[in-house]
Structure formats: structure tokens, C-alpha cells
Amino acid sequence: MKKVIIAALLAASSGSASASLGSKPGEMVGAWEVETVIDGFSDTKRGITHTKLGADGFLAVKCDKPGLGSLYLTFFTPKYLGSDRISSRVHGAKYRLDDAPAQDLPSPYYDGKAASIIGNKATDLLKGLAISSPKRFRAQFLTYDNDLAEIDVDVTGAANAIYKTAAICEDTAFVQ
């Protein structure tokens, strides 16, 4: 089941899971599995960390190539989130850490059943997630069909998992 999740994450971020990519066995850090994926042609390391697959989706922290600012978050849901480019519909997205008030999710990029937070906004959100050390992360998205998609995941150990992934990804924005 874990390899199916990894293949889905790789396919969602790079178009397809390539036979040239290898994966080292994952390490469990709280509710997170931290893995190192190595490109068989360039030996480039990528970090990918994800929560267990839940009934409503899951959360992943990863990079596509190493370097400063490379970490991003991706939320996966069973519902279609993709944008309606014809009408430029704005999708509402909110998140909540434990019992704190809900906040707007910063400008998600939608791709099918995934919503990703990239760039500086991802760095800020990941740093906040690491510093506050919540146990639950809830996210709510307005789907393409104006339905709600909700994710409720256990993020115990998020700080350690994020820092380990940042080290694999050589994202120095997370140096402690």
C-alpha cells in the first residue's frame, strides 16, 4: 500500500512514475513516513514525506529537485479540485491546526485531485506547521463542482518530518 501511495505522489508531481527512480525504505516520524527517492540517472535525491492515507485524503511534503525553497505541500482528495479555467472560478481553501481558528490557505495550485502550496507561501506554512507542532491538520477546499472536500490528518511529528525532508531536499530555509 505504501508503494502505491509513493507512485501516486510521484505521478502527481512529475507526470508519471519513472522506472529510473529508486526509493530507500521509509522512516516513520510520528504519523509521517519520510522517504528518499533517488533518480537512477543523475543520482539526485528527493525527499517525500506523507501521512497515512485517510478516508478523506492525505498530506505530503516534498520537493521535485533539491535546493533552497524547494519544499512544498500537496493535499490529495478523492474529489476533483481542478480549476475551471473558462470562468476563472476562485476556489475557497482554508486550514485549521488543532482547535485554532480556521485560516485561508495561501493560493493553492490545483491539479486534478491535488492542491499544492508552492514557493515562499509553502515555506511560511511549513515553518508554521513545524513550529506549532499540532496534532491535527484540517483543510477544506471548494471543488470544481462547488462541493466541499475536506482533509483531516494526524500530523504528529510534523516538525521532525519536515526538517528531515528539508535536509534530503537541501532546502536550507529550514536549517535549525
For residue 14, the model assigns a pLDDT of 41
d(CA 125, CA 166): 14
* Best CA proximity match to 131, nearest among 105, 168, 160: 160
Q: Which three cell numbers stand for residue 11?
A: 505521478
Instruction: Tell me: pLDDT of 5 over 50.
Output: no
Q: Which three cell numbers stand for residue 12?
A: 502527481
The predicted model scores a pTM of 0.77
Q: Which secondary structure element, helix H or strand E, spans residue 164, and what is its range?
A: helix 158-168
Instruction: Tell me: pLDDT of 112 over 70.
Output: yes
Amino acid at site 124: D
d(CA 38, CA 162): 18
- Extended beta strands in the chain, E state: 21-23, 27-29, 32-39, 45-51, 58-62, 72-76, 93-97, 103-104, 109-111, 114-117, 136-142, 148-154
For residue 104, the model assigns a pLDDT of 87
Q: What separation in angstroms does the CA of 20 have from each of 12, 43, 44, 56, 83?
A: 16, 10, 11, 31, 31
pLDDT tens-digit map of 14-43: 433 333 345 556 899 888 899 999 999 999
d(CA 16, CA 130): 30
pLDDT tens-digit map of 64-77: 999 999 999 998 88
Q: What is the CA radius of gyration of the chain?
A: 15
Q: Which three cell numbers stand for residue 136?
A: 491535527
